[in-house]
């Protein structure tokens, strides 16, 4: 994550590598099974989107995945979960190496998710928003996640979710002033109330099946009680105290590809150990009780 603060308000650094891997290879990166490696961390909500979409689309055999550890330093995510601290396919210790291989002296965020070209060892893209949409539309799968007839509505909902919820929790957590914090807090919970009303009438955000919009909301909701409620001061209500959203989140969590890709230990370690400006002690909370995620959701 790369960010800066202006007049107390958190601003996300959105300078990404926007090359795309497409069926026709128009950016110079054609879809080829086995050629690319998706690099993620299970701690990161943006990377978690890609993990879930890859699983839901059945792309595991054509797009391999490297998993970084839950923490990083100011330089880069590292492959400390792998033997010898190196990714077994790319042969690198730090994701930074793939960025520098393509752009020596790269001075923007070394972020996950990223897709790396295995033959050259170069990063292709870290544009997390476009990356998952391209998995649905360019990789030759019959994807229900981004159906053409509903894309305008999906895009509209995703924009609101990103602005007020996905990024909204960060705007609250990293606010540099009381005013900026309260503005982000109010906007976040107003949007969560709006989402609760929407989901009280329908099982999923758009249409009657899971779409990309649900994936994007889920990765914030699943971190809410474990991290954002306390660590980011988003504490009007826990997720488990918002009945509609709590049932909706459990519905998704219990769907293959969602909850079975979540690692709560990695999530808590990342936020509480890396964000020392917010949590100087580095103490990782023992709670909350996460057993409720498997309780019946009643949204069948």
Side-chain-side CA neighbours of residue 88 (13 Å): 6
Query: What span, in angstroms and rounded, lies between the C-alpha atoms of 32 and 113?
Result: 19
Which residues have a Cβ under 8 Å from the Cβ of 187 and sit 6 or more positions away? 164, 168, 171
Residues taking part in catalysis? 44, 170
Answer for the pair 113, 128: CB distance below 8 angstroms, yes or no. Answer: yes
Residue 29 is labelled as binding a ligand: no
Which residues define the annotated binding site for glutathione? Answer: 77
């Amino acid at each position: 994550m790369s960010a800066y603060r202006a007049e107390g308000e958190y601003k996300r650094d959105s300078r990404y590598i926007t090359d795309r891997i497409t069926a026709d290879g128009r950016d110079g990166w054609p879809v080829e099974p086995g050629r690319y490696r998706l690099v993620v961390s299970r701690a990161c909500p943006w990377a978690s989107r890609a993990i879930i979409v890859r699983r839901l689309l059945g792309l595991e055999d054509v797009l391999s995945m490297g998993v970084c550890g839950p923490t990083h330093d100011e330089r880069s995510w590292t492959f400390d979960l792998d033997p010898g601290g190196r990714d077994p396919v790319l042969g690198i210790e730090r994701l930074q190496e793939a960025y520098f291989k393509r752009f020596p002296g790269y001075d923007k965020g070394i972020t996950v998710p990223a897709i790396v070209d295995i033959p050259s060892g170069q990063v292709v893209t870290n544009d997390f928003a476009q990356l998952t949409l391209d998995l649905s539309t360019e990789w030759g799968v019959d994807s229900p996640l981004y159906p053409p007839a509903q894309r305008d509505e999906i895009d509209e909902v995703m924009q609101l979710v990103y602005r007020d919820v996905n990024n909204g929790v960060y705007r609250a957590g990293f606010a540099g002033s009381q005013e900026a914090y309260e503005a982000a807090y109010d906007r976040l919970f107003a949007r969560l109330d709006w989402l609760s009303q929407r989901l009280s009438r329908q099982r999923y955000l758009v249409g009657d099946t899971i779409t990309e919009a649900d994936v994007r909301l889920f990765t914030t909701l699943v971190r809410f009680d474990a991290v954002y409620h306390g660590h980011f001061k988003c504490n009007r209500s826990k997720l488990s105290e918002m009945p509609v959203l709590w049932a909706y989140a459990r519905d998704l969590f219990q769907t293959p590809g969602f909850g079975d890709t979540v690692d709560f230990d990695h999530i808590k370690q990342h936020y509480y150990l890396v964000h020392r400006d917010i949590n100087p002690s580095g103490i990782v909370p023992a709670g909350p009780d996460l057993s409720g995620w498997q309780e019946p959701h009643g949204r069948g």
